[in-house]
Every structure is written in C-alpha cells, then in structure tokens.
Amino acid sequence: MKKIIYIIVLLLLLVACSIQEERVGSAAMEHLASTYHLDDVEVISVEQENPRYALIVYVMDRLSNGKNYEVIVQSNEAIPIEVEGTVNVRKLEYKNSNYVASKHQTYQEEHKEYQKLLRQLEDLGVEEIFLSNRYFDETTRTIHFQIKLEHADISSDQLVDHLDKIADIMLENIDTNMSMKLAIQVKNLFADELRYELIEIELPPHDENDYEKLIQLLDEQLSSVQSANKIDEAFIGMLEQFNLTVIRSRLNDLEKKADNELIRHELKMGVLADYEWEDLLAGIQQLQENGFNNTFVQLTFQQGSTDFCQVKRIQTTEDIEHCFTDIVYENIQ
C-alpha cells in the first residue's frame, strides 16, 4: 500500500514538474515573440537553476522571489538562433536574454551579408565588435555596440551607416536605437613622459532620426583623440619658439553619467619669461593649423594658471585676453 502511495505521489510530482516547465517555456517563448517580433520559437531545454550560494540564502531567496529556471529557446529564423535566459516562476519573467549577442555570434559565422558588413568595418579600422541588448522594454529597444578601433582616423558617417545596416539585420522590422562604447589607444603626456593607454568612450542611445547628431558627437570625440595622438617631441619643440612649453596633454572626462562618458583633449602649457602676446597668438595659430581647433588650452604664467579655453575661439590677441581673463593665482613659495 505504501509503495502504491509513493508511486502516486511521484507521478503527481512529475506531472507538476512537467506543467511547471511548460509554463516556464511558454513564458520564454512569449517574451521573445513580443520583444523581438519572432513568429517561430520553440523551447530547447528548461532546467531548475542550481544554487550558487549558501543554502540558507538560497532558501530565503526562493521564499521571497520564487524559483528560477535556466531556459534555452530557439528562434527558427533563416539561420536558427539559440537564446539563453532565466525565467522567474513567481512572475514568469524572462530575463538575461542574450538574443542579440547570440545572433551576432551565429551570423558572423554563417550569414554572408553580415560577414560582408563586418569585413567593411574592419577595412574602416574596427578591430573588434560585439553586440548586446540594452534598454529593451515595450517601448524602447537599443542595440549596444562595443567596438575597439585601430585608430581615430575613421569616417563617423560610414561607421554609423554600417552599424545601422547591422542593426537592421539584427532586428528586422523593429525600430531600434543605437548606443556604443569605443575603445581606442590614446597618447598622454605627463611628467615629461609620452605614453599610450586604452580609453573607453561611451555614447548615449540615438534613434535613426538623431543619427546626424550621433555622427557629429562621434566626430567631436574622435577629433579629441586625434589631437591627443598628434603630440610628440617634434611638436613640443616647435612650440618652444613661441615661448610655450607643454606641461601636460590628456583626454579629460567632460561629462560622466551612467550611460554617457564624453571626453575632450586638454593641453596645459607654460608661458616662458619675457613672453609677448603676439608670441602666444602665433603659438595658438600653430595649434589651429595642425588640427587642434577642438582642443582646450590652459596657460600657466608665473603668477598662476588661466582657465581652459577652446583653441578655435582664439583669433586675435584680444581673444586671448578675453578668453583668459581670470587667472587663478597661486601662492608661490
């Protein structure tokens, strides 16, 4: 009798588990269908998530938040894509979807048009590229591009155009925003030492109606990198004939937010004794002629330092005086 009861209980548990897994799989399929406009989706596997922390923490988490299931779902597109994620049973909420990343991985190996676009990006100067989801909900869909560049001398409009085509292949028939993080080597001068370091520039999401603004912003950021990388021993020596000595060259954070990290090139220069305003203007003009228009310059006199001023704003000696009206006086020991 006990054996029969045990078998019945076991069967009930198996049926319950089967129903639970079916609900979990349905939640995952519905999420992909509604979020990415996918018509043909099937469940590959549903497994209860194994605890990765202390048992008591796991139990308390289960009581508070419900069980989690690790799910693999396949989108049967022209090239089938397997997508991994986690479904929380209490809310039947599908999270941690890697649809974009999975599709990028598959398409760069199997999709000819996608491969062609990646080769064109490589020709532009893109060393590495990775795609992921960002800000995906019912109203906002953003593809985030993580890109490593060989150099800053790259066409911003061509880069955005290629990324837009990749986004169209990635999410067909879906209006999509674009954000990006650029990694690139930049030359800094500090304590008389020129050295390269890898920096990251993060650009906020833009939709297709704002791509012109995105291109302009990208141009400004890449121009700052190009200016920083032009500083070398020969250029530093050339400025000395105008009674200017380069103290520091760096890319400085202009604005830092959670999803917005912009930079500008800052050049700090010392003004040598017996200077003339005409010498300073001639030195600034040399900066303009050598592509430093967007650079911000700070001048350090014997009395103290000026604030920063953008090079392209300076055309006359009066502009220098107007731009550098406030000298921050320092106590000289």
Chunked in runs of 10, what are the mean pLDDT values of the chain (333 residues)?
44 47 87 88 86 48 65 92 88 85 94 97 96 80 95 95 95 89 93 89 92 94 93 91 91 61 87 83 92 90 80 84 57 33
pLDDT tens string 259-318 = 456 889 999 999 887 778 888 889 999 999 998 998 999 888 877 777 888 999 888 888
Distance CA 170, CA 147 (A): 16
Question: How far is the C-alpha of 307 from the C-alpha of 313, rounded, in Å?
Answer: 14
Buried b (16+ CB within 10 A) or exposed e, 164-183: eebbeebbeeeebbbbbbbe
Within 125-179, residue ranges assigned H as helices are: 156-170
Euclidean distance between CA atoms 246 and 18, whole angstroms: 72
pLDDT digits (tens, 9 = 90+) for 92-105: 888 888 899 999 99
pLDDT computed for residue 238 by the predictor: 92
Report whether 196 contacts 185 (CB < 8 A).
Answer: yes
Name the residue among 96, 94, 117 with its Cα closest to residue 26. Answer: 94
Q: Which class is domain 2-97?
A: alpha beta
CB within 8 Å of 150: residues ≥ 6 apart: 125, 126, 127
85, two tokens: 């994620």
Task: Mention every residue, 6+ apart, whose C-beta is less than 8 A from residue 5.
Answer: none
Distance CA 275, CA 14 (A): 89
The partner residues of 144 in beta bridges, in order of sequence, read: 132, 179
Domain-wise residue ranges, the chain: 2-97, 98-223, 231-333
Burial of 257 per CB tally in 10 Å (0-12, 13-18, 19+):
exposed
Tokens representing residue 93 in the block? 């909420």
Structure tokens at 56: 């008591």
Q: What is the pLDDT of residue 328?
A: 46
